[in-house]
Amino acid sequence: MNPPIRLGVIGTGRIGRLHTEHLALRISGAKVAAVSDVVLAAAEKCAADFGVPSATSDHRRLLDDPAINAVVICSSTDTHAGLIAEAAAAGKHIFCEKPIALELAAIDRALAAVAQAGVKLQIGFNRRFDANYRRVAELIRQGRLGDPHLLRITSRDPAPPPITYVKVSGGLFLDMMIHDFDMARFLIGSEVDEVYTLAAVRVDPAIGQAGDVDTAVVALQFENGVIGTIDNSRRAVFGYDQRVEVFGAKGMAETSNNYPNSVVVSGPEAIARDLPLNFFLDRYIDSYVAELTEFVRCVAQDRPPPVTGIDGRRPVQIGMAARRSLDLHRPVKVAEIQ
């Protein structure tokens, strides 16, 4: 048996703690050697909770440690691109949360650093590792659906984030629908050529005052001829609404939401079941374990990671095109965005 991959986790907020827990407890072949956070107490608590031997407020300590093979970047979005470049220069393999950055130039600098250093980079589009979507992708790859003709992605949150977050999020298209742009590319296996956006503020006027929308439909024209639609809402009162449908020449695949139990209650008013899982961490927990398991294996076996830097760049570009389509009220080629 090979020695474990030794990882450093940069940023120990919610998602950083989750990744640390999974790497420490549930992923064989991985060892979290150190965690860092600009708030030292957060790093220390994370280290204590999950048995990590070292905690620091300075991520450079992780990058300078020759015993660390790879880093997991979970800090705030504005630091991602810079940290990728730094980590690449230090020769570390990199797992980075999405999005890489909110502008293409920064993404391109980060990817250039990765390419120059020859390290591995995996982007945290965890939904690709979800059992439902993975099964749909598999059906497509196997030809079970024939050539895909139509794609439909529904992605609705149970409640909007705080307005303070909305203001720095990059907006619905880069913060929320970016997952769906990635899913669209992942499932269809072709690039989005052009988008057209309809959007509105229907959930909370404060979101509009912050310059964003909370309800949106984007129509997608793929290079291979598939036509897609994505719809997002910041608030589905029944919980987290996450579904896809692919309609092809030989059949259709649909996913439904995930539920905490399968119980159906037949009462005098209705036939009912409990609401779907409400929180993204509950809904997608297995996919978070799976994506890091795959990253660790790719490093251990020297294979290219399944979600590349280009996979991190392209959804940002599509998101910008979607926003431009809304602003200009016309279809926008993704290639317009450079």
Residues that bind a copy of itself (CB under 8 A): 25-26, 131-132, 134-136, 139, 144-147, 149-150, 152, 156, 196, 198-200, 202-203, 215-217, 219, 221, 225, 227, 229, 231, 233, 235-238, 241, 247, 249-258, 260-276, 329-331
* Dist. CA 267–CA 265, nearest whole Å: 6
**Shortest spacing between CB 116 and a copy of itself, in angstroms:** 38
Please state, as a whole number, how many other Cβ atoms lie within 10 Å of the Cβ of residue 71: 27
**Shortest spacing between CB 141 and a copy of itself, in angstroms:** 14
What single letter denotes the amino acid at residue 2? N
Q: Beta strand 332-333 with 30-36: parallel, antiparallel or unpaired?
A: unpaired
Asked if 6 contacts 72 with a C-beta cutoff of 8 angstroms, the reply is no
- How does DSSP assign 55-78, residue by residue? EES-HHHHHH-TT--EEEE-S-HH
C-alpha angle with apex 66: 64 to 69, nearest 5 degrees? Answer: 105
* Dist. CA 26–CA 120, nearest whole Å: 22
Nearest CB to a copy of itself, comparing residues 61 and 297: 297
**Shortest spacing between CB 59 and a copy of itself, in angstroms:** 27
Nearest CB to a copy of itself, comparing residues 67 and 264: 264
**Shortest spacing between CB 89 and a copy of itself, in angstroms:** 35
**Shortest spacing between CB 98 and a copy of itself, in angstroms:** 23
**SS3 at position 52:** coil
Label residues 13-39 b or e (16+ Cβ within 10 Å = b): eebbbbbbbbbbeebebbbbbbbbbee
**Shortest spacing between CB 284 and a copy of itself, in angstroms:** 13
